Amino acid sequence: METLSENMKAALLSVLLLVVGCLIWELSIPAQKAVGELTEYELLTGGGQPKAGVPPPSQVLGKAWEQLSNPFYDAGPNDKGIGIQIGYSIYRVLTGYFLAALVAIPLGFLIGMSSIAYKALNPFIQVLRPISPLAWMPLALFVIQDSEASAIFVIFICSIWPMLINTAFGVAGVREDWVNVARTHELSALKTAFTVILPAAAPTIVTGMRISIGIAWLVIVAAEMLVGGTGIGYYVWNEWNNLDLTSVIFSILMIGVVGMLLDSMFGLLQRAVAYIE
Amino acid sequence: MAKSFLSIEQLTQRYPDGQGNEFTVFEDATFGIEKGEFVCILGHSGCGKSTIMNILAGLSEPTSGVVKMDGRHVSGPSLDRGVVFQNYSLLPWLSALKNVTFGVTARFPHWDKAKVIEHSTAFLAKVGLTGDAIHRKPSQLSGGMRQRVSIARAFANEPKLLLLDEPFGALDALTRGTIQEELIKVWSDTDQTVFMITHDIDEAILLADRILLMTNGPMAQVAENVEITIPRPRVRNDIVEHPNYYAIRNHLVHFLAQRSAELSGKSDGPNSPKTVCIDLTGEADTDDSEPPPLLRAVEV
């Protein structure tokens, strides 16, 4: 037998695990009895009706095919394609996330460069950071009076902390030597920040951004379940209300796939800014 | 005393010692460096060599005393004073060439890109870095090559004063030898004024016009100014044959091993170092049975 590379072997094993897993899942779901085999009692109690149960993977696959072949259809408020729902979620996540980055990165720079700013802001950060982002939701809804903006605010507040802390940490940890190089070359404060401190702290900052986007994607599902209307979180909850478990399972998988894509984008960015000392 | 190109006047550095008292690293250091000179400073750890270097670079402020260059008071870092740090201090996310152009663009902001690159490449070539190597990141270069890049960066900026802080401290002896020769070559091409910290006696003799000797800290002083009376160009292999070589070397070893401790802490007000000039070339063919000639100490 020809020798396969390690990656090939791992890929084969992954496919094997998937197939075996789906097979076990498929076989463990009891088939519905045909109407002819039902007793009179079962017929009277409605046993012949399609029963809500965990669907087999074949059904989920069928659903996925159906949904993904027309992801952007819009047939009213409660019947939109998966693409539209995910699009809404991504839009909210990215808006909240970039607003957070806009605040967190400059503020992190300030905290990292000045120990007075660090000491002054640290108590606030320590109190605000452990608050579950959803705990802000009632207050946000009351103050902002708009469910859409409230969801974005929740994303903003949950993704700000890892970015803020990592930026401050990265900036404070820039080696004295590199700052001295900037000083002996008479670089202005702004030029030093952009040409020396930013690239030096970039790996730490991007790590914080990567953690943040992960958290934001976790939180958006819960936030949309609360605010409703649109988005993948709303979709999951809506299908649960419809008792359409096939759609629920399908959308869970979609949440995972999108989360993975978002994370791997930041993985690429991380690799681009990495350096070896 | 005529004003030198660089004059260090009554430089004193004290730190609080943590118990409410003050700790004097060095006191009343006074010396001058002329344009185009290569001066080394030798002394044990803790005598404040690096502190003097940082003050000259403008990275720290002395407790008292002044540094004047070209008659002007030095304060804060400046492109006129280039520094080569012991740990290279290259920016690891930039290639070797970019590290040099980083300095050149800061120094000559009006130059166009092509000229910056040409200038930088030329200086990298002077220290023996050509071809593919200049596009590598510091992490992909050996310690010796990194220090070459650092030296090229400093020389390419053509500062009025170049400060070298134990530039070869972290290198193995063989690499050190090669780079020392490259350093001499670049220096003689450019007429730079160089001030260098080292604790390698042979390195100091090979490179310097004069060696400043510091007594031990605390309360260290610049005690002597030893002129290196060996003609240039100097080659590592040949200078050991020169009649002055061992006389100078013995004097330096003797100072560092014994007198640096004896003289330590004796402060007698503002003082210039004593100039010591050891030259045996005139007496080399006189009677060998004579006792070794006494050192001539000349007050400036």
Q: In this structure, is residue B181 part of a structural domain?
A: no
Phi and psi based region of residue B84 (left: phi greater than 0; alpha: psi -120 to 50; beta: remaining): beta
Q: What are the tens digits of pLDDT across the range B38-52? A: 999 998 887 888 888
Task: Encode pLDDT of A123-141 as tens digits.
Answer: 999 999 999 999 999 999 9
pLDDT of the residue at A229? 86
Model confidence at B266: pLDDT above 70: no
Evaluate if residue A225 carries a pLDDT over 60: yes
Instruction: Please give the pLDDT value at position A34.
Output: 57
Alpha-carbon gap: B244 to the closest alpha carbon of chain A (Å): 38
In a domain, B283, yes or no: yes
The C-alpha of A220 sits at a distance from chain B's nearest C-alpha, in angstroms, of 36
The count of structural domains within chain B is: 2
Q: Which of A186, A195, A275 sits opposite B92 (nearest CB)?
A: A275
Domain topology for A58-273: MetI-like fold (1.10.3720)
Q: In this structure, is residue B205 part of a structural domain? A: no
Is there a single domain that holds both residue B221 and residue B292?
yes
Residues of A in contact with B87 (CB under 8 A): 177
In a domain, B117, yes or no: yes
Question: Do B65 and B107 have their domain in common?
Answer: no
Secondary structure in 3-state letters for chain A: CCCCCHHHHHHHHHHHHHHHHHHHHHHHCCCCCCHHHCCHHHHHCCCCCCCCCCCCHHHHHHHHHHHHHCCCCECCCCCECHHHHHHHHHHHHHHHHHHHHHHHHHHHHHHHHCHHHHHHHHHHHHHHCCCCHHHHHHHHHHHHCCHHHHHHHHHHHHHHHHHHHHHHHHHHCCCHHHHHHHHHCCCCHHHHHHHHHHHHHHHHHHHHHHHHHHHHHHHHHHHHHHHCCCCHHHHHHHHHHCCCHHHHHHHHHHHHHHHHHHHHHHHHHHHHHCCCC
Chain B residues with CB under 8 Å of a chain A CB are 57-59, 77-79, 81-83, 85, 87, 89, 91-93, 102-103, 106-107, 137, 139, 157
Q: Give pLDDT tens digits for A201-221.
A: 999 999 999 999 999 999 999
Range of the domain at B50: 6-36+45-76+212-298
What percentage of chain A reaches a pLDDT higher than 70? Answer: 93
Claim to verify: residue B63 and residue B121 sit in the same structural domain: no
- Please check whether residues B71 and B130 belong to one and the same domain: no
Q: Quick check: B79 and A178 CB within 8 A?
A: no
Length of chain B: 300
Within this chain, do residues B286 and B252 fall inside the same structural domain, yes or no? yes
Q: Is 90 exceeded by the pLDDT of residue A157?
A: yes
Kindly state whether residue B81 falls inside one of the protein's structural domains: no
Q: Are B54 and B103 found together in one domain?
A: no
In chain A, where the domains are located: 58-273
Q: Percent of chain A at pLDDT above 90?
A: 75
The answer on B72 and B93 residing in a single domain is no
pLDDT digits (tens, 9 = 90+) for B43-78: 888 788 888 888 999 988 889 888 998 888 888 899
- The pLDDT of residue A129 is 93
Q: Give the pLDDT band of residue A79 (cuts 50, 70, 90).
A: confident
